[in-house]
């Protein structure tokens, strides 16, 4: 799956930010702020953001940790990272960006206070291995934060499913020229474990002393927070 996912993101990289803004109505900004708040990051913290894409969450963390903190943004798709350094420079933020696979990070053990991944863990080949690897590079007592889509229920859930299956592919295809990518993304979100089922994946990782799920917008997304053993 990794090769296919890398190629898909490569094909939509130049239009990813614009399309994300349109399709989410800007709500993703609020969700990122919530993830940063729940991470416990503070001035001077060391943060790793996996699957950073064009760097939005990494930049949010950098604003939080300030000049004395360090933020490293990684992604396994070089094309997604291409615009990230310029975006950081324009914002006046010093963020490091590296091409890295979240399941096989070439970073030292216990070297970060926080590791995060937003809307990326459902695209890795082995989510449990990814959770273990992120925990490996975080110091004991630090936190791993996962922002990912959920599956809302009830009337809102029905509306969300219609939007995901019908509207997203149409608009995403129009804006990027790759309709298949915006069929794949909501399809994987609908199939990926959410809520308590994702917490069970964190338990399987065996790396967390505590974990919690925080639903956003009726369960459209979740912020999962795990405290590293």
Binding residues, by number, are 54, 75, 101-102, 118
Give the annotated binding-site residues for S-adenosyl-L-methionine: 54, 75, 101-102, 118
Measured CA to CA, the distance from residue 195 to residue 211 in angstroms comes to 11
Nearest residue to 147 (alpha-carbon basis) of 226, 69, 83, 91: 226
Rounded to an integer, what distance in angstroms lies between the CA atom of residue 86 and that of residue 155?
A: 42
Which residues lie below 8 Å from residue 171, measured CB to CB, with a gap of 6+?
A: 19, 22, 23, 182
């Amino acid at each position: 799956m990794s090769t296919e996912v890398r190629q898909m993101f490569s094909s939509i990289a130049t239009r990813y930010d614009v399309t994300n803004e349109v399709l989410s109505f800007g709500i993703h900004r609020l969700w990122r702020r919530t993830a940063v708040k729940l991470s416990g990051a503070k001035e001077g913290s060391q943060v790793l953001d996996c699957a950073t894409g064009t760097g939005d969450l990494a930049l949010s963390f950098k604003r939080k940790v300030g000049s004395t903190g360090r933020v490293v943004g990684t992604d396994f798709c070089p094309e997604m990272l291409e615009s990230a350094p310029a975006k950081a420079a324009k914002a006046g933020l010093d963020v490091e960006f590296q091409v890295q696979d979240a399941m096989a990070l070439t970073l030292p053990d216990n070297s970060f206070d926080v590791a995060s991944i937003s809307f990326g863990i459902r695209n890795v080949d082995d989510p449990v291995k990814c959770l273990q690897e992120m925990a490996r590079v975080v110091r004991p007592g630090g936190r791993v934060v996962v922002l990912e889509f959920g599956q809302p229920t009830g009337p809102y859930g029905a509306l969300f499913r219609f939007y995901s299956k019908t509207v997203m592919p149409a608009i995403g295809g129009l804006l990027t020229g790759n309709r298949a990518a915006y069929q794949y993304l909501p399809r994987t979100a609908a199939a990926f474990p959410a809520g308590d089922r994702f917490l069970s994946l964190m338990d399987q990782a065996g790396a967390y002393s505590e974990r919690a799920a925080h639903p956003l917008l009726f369960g459209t997304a979740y912020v999962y927070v795990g405290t590293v053993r």
